[in-house]
Amino acid sequence: MELNQITYAYDRQPDILKNISADVELGRITTVIGPNGSGKSTLLGVMARNFAPKSGHVILDGKNITDFKPKELARRIAVVHQQNEAPSDMTVEKLTSYGRLPHRSMWTQSGKEDELAIEWALNCTKLVEKRHLMLDQLSGGERQRVWIAMALAQKTPYLFLDEPTTYLDMYYQIEVLDLIKSLNVEYGLTIVMVLHDVNQAVRYSDSIIVMKDGEVHMAGAPKMVITEQTMKDIYGVKVTIKQEEEAGMIVVPLGIV
């Protein structure tokens, strides 16, 4: 995926995204980070064609994203939004099954291919034994896995996630991020996600896009873009960066600049 000089604004408001160009490498994990209000989620929305840019264009597999029909695009990109809602009495399996809608017409019923995709999604997210439970019977981390399962059931090569660890405690954050990493490693999914935690971005990403004030400040491998100077410039925070044998690269905040 290529982003070419993307500019975006809500209605007649000032530009939220300003002349953004970036690449998403196939088969890798790209994470977008930056302060609140820097345009991270908006950028993901433009990449998923939820928002139409004022100028510039998104190229997906050599084709302008605006040229895809809705169902065709939904068979290429699955999105897990930051906030999701569904009836609390819906079962895990039922919600997961909605991921198959882009593969069916309104006149066709689910078939063997749909069943296999749903089963695969439930297996990937370790929800097979919870398939008949209602959503309100699940923990926050389990509910997040259900939304990921629904996205996986779409069987797309691209998976976008907007702050997938928000509202989760440390255990479930690690569980979700380990799942995302395994989907990339085992199944080759190209993943783009928005994260707040810099250390999580460093640990789980192949490439990081650093944003500030609607612009791309820097992009590249974690060790290249996450520096003490970058953290000062982007977040206004003084940090020290350590290299631990087991944990790898760790960003330690020291105070506000």
pLDDT digits (tens, 9 = 90+) for 66-78: 999 999 999 999 9
* % of the chain at pLDDT higher than 70: 99
Instruction: Summarize the confidence of residues 5-28 as an average pLDDT.
Output: 94
Instruction: Summarize the confidence of residues 80-105 as an average pLDDT.
Output: 91
Query: How high is the pLDDT of residue 104?
Result: 81
Instruction: Summarize the confidence of residues 16-29 as an average pLDDT.
Output: 96
CB 148 within 8 A of CB 95: no
| Residue located via tokens 């991270």 | 40
pLDDT digits (tens, 9 = 90+) for 44-57: 999 999 999 999 99
Instruction: Summarize the confidence of residues 218-226 as an average pLDDT.
Output: 96
Predicted TM-score (pTM) of the model is 0.95
pLDDT at 106 over 70: no
